[in-house]
């Protein structure tokens, strides 16, 4: 099981999501989707419009939470990921 890291989504208005127990994130980078695990090389990237998928257990086939972002930037450090989104909206899925 990979170590966990801090994950945040911030908009111009507020901090819209924060968790300290994320193992995997997939986000829409400017040149394609980007996956992040704990210990990722420090990186800043522009984000395209798309979905950000968050897993609290990287081995699980299902996503724990998804956010729709309209663009922005992501700052990736070995122990944290922060998304600075123009707009962010939680995607609600039906219970299975």
Core vs surface per residue 67-90: b (16+ CB within 10 A) or e: bebeebebebeeebbbbbbeebee
User: Which H or E run includes 17?
Assistant: strand 15-22
**Radius of gyration of the chain measured on its C-alpha atoms:** 12
CATH tag for 5-91 (out of 3.90.1150.10, 2.60.15.10, 3.30.450.20, 3.30.413.10): 2.60.15.10
The pLDDT tens digits along the chain (96 residues) read: 668 999 999 999 999 999 999 999 999 999 999 999 888 899 999 999 999 999 998 788 888 899 999 999 999 998 999 999 999 999 986 554
Quote the pTM value: 0.88
68 and 51 in contact (C-beta within 8 Å)?
yes
């Amino acid at each position: 099981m990979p170590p966990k890291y801090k994950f945040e989504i911030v908009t111009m208005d507020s901090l819209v999501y924060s968790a300290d127990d994320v193992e995997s994130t997939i986000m829409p980078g400017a040149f394609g989707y980007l996956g992040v695990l704990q210990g990722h090389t420090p990186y800043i990237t522009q984000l395209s419009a798309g979905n950000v998928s968050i897993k609290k257990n990287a081995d699980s086939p299902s996503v724990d939470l998804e956010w729709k972002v309209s663009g922005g930037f992501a700052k990736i450090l070995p122990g944290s990921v922060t998304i600075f989104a123009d707009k962010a909206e939680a995607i609600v899925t039906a219970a299975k």
